[in-house]
Amino acid sequence: MGNTHDRTIPSDALVIFGVTGDLAHKMIFPALYAMSKRGTLNVPVVGVAASQLSLTELRKRVSESIWQAGKIDDQNALDHLLSLLRYVGGDYNNPGTFEALKQALDDTQHPAHYLAIPPKLFTTVIKGLGAAGLATQARIIVEKPFGRDLASAQALNRIALSVFAEDAIFRIDHYLGKEAIMNILYFRFANSFLEPIWNRNCVASVQITLAENFGVKGRGMFYESAGCLRDVIQNHLFQIVALLAMEPPAYQGFGAVHNEKAKIFQAMRPLQPDDVVRGQYTGYRDELGVAKDSDVETFCALRLFIDSWRWQGVPWYLRSGKCLAETAAEVLVELKPPPQRLFDDSAPADGRANYLRFRLSPNSAVALAARVKHAGKEFVGDQRELYLLDEQPEERTPYERLLGDAMLGDGALFTREDAVEAAWAVVAPVLGTHHPVIPYEPGSWGPKQADMLIAADGSWYNPILVKVAT
């Protein structure tokens, strides 16, 4: 086991390994600027990378990143952020780099080390921090993916735990920092009307769609090593399943939430090849870095079962893909129809009974669909949606929220070792043994075989985005 860790003490420095990389440029610098605007960033920010940069060059990179992410509307906040920056250049394999980092950290006692670097470097940096004595009373923030399969996730966790305590390890899945995802947890347990129907007796099926209308955007080489199942479903969509399916936490605190989420992953039935439909958009093999005979999936749909008292027999349908018809993420919890047809039209034309719908992106909303009678003496009506929540302005970005929480020691929105490993165990049987990819046209909803996967329980709900004229 690694060092003991006092989770109540805020971090007094933020170290960003990979500060010259894409993630830092696109996500982390704008988040730090937002934190500076809110007055929540007042500690040194030490960038570490292999390049030999001057501090002036780093400040220029940070300013350019914030310009590209949006306008600079608070010069004082930007100046404050730039004043906090320090830089250490050097090879991660060289102990001297970590000694230089120690000098740059000066008298700070509780740094948070953020690994915004390729996963293959995680072990090197974690061991380097341990050897240099930089892990004592420190935190480590690790970007996904946490391994490529169960064995590599277990190996990574072993190495991290040999240097850091479990509650000092913050495994980032930026999806958990989204306002709409957090609202699922709140909506479920802040309202009493859901609990009587939130089980196998009333829920017919659950489907989750995370669709993107663009391709791999020049990241073909990365995608060849990942694929949709690893990149999106095993982490983002499984996390949503856990929030929807978990039992009520035993007490108020993130440890209780983690306990219940881990139980859901442990109750998921391991996938088999016939539970999964893999697709690949036409044109993917022409992308730079992609093999001409690539069998990597850019679309994945699967049928999942949770073998628990609450969810036994309820199918969960998950799908995600690139080059689909829309960019959106939605959950549809379909309820069973009334036990007796008292009205001729109570079976809707599309076959869909009452449902609860969570829109997660591009905006957040919760809607409840119920049948309402038309005016007149005939007992006919239609199904309408009652909107319960719409977008709230001024929400923090996921990275701003997650960075701030990690530095405060708040692990609520991060993932725990046992949950990560249990999720990998669910997909383990199909990572190497699966059906070949099926081509699909860009702009469609994926291969038709995905429709056949869900056919026994109805059809996919395709998010329909209302285009607002500007």
Judged by DSSP in three states, 231 sits in helix
Instruction: Measure the CA dihedral 309/416/173/120, to 10°.
Output: -130
Handedness of CA 191, 244, 397, 39 (dihedral sign): positive
Contacts of residue 454, defined as CB under 8 A and 6 or more positions apart, other chains included, come to 205, 207, 301, 303, 317, 460
Q: Which residues, including other chains, have CB under 8 Å from residue 423's CB and lie 6 or more apart?
A: 234, 235, 238, 265, 268
Closest CA to 313 of 357, 252, 269, 373: 269
Distance from C-alpha of 187 to C-alpha of 412, rounded to nearest angstrom = 16
Question: What are the catalytic residues?
Answer: 236
Q: 3-state SS string over 244-262?
A: HHCCCCCCCCHHHHHHHHH
Which segments of 22-121 does DSSP mark as H helices, in order?
22-23, 29-38, 55-69, 75-84, 95-105
CB 337 within 8 A of CB 353: yes
Residue ranges of alpha helices (H) inside 9-74 are 22-23, 29-38, 55-69
- What's the CA gap between 261 and 421, in Å, rounded? 12
Cβ-Cβ contacts under 8 Å for 260 (sequence gap 6 or more): 242, 246, 247, 248, 249
> Can you say how many angstroms the Cα of residue 95 is from the centroid of all Cα atoms in its chain?
33
Q: Residue 88 has what DSSP assignment?
A: E
The per-type count for the chain, helices as H runs and strands as E runs, is: 15, 15
- Quote the crossing angle between the two packed helices 29-38 and 55-69, to the nearest 10°: 80
Place of tokens 């081509």: 439
The 3 state secondary structure assigned to 398-449 is HHHHHHHHHHHCCCCCCECHHHHHHHHHHHHHHHCCCCCCEEECCCECCCCH
CA 313 and chain centroid, separation: 26
* Residues listed for the chain: 470
Q: Is 329 in contact with 209 (CB distance < 8 Å)?
A: yes
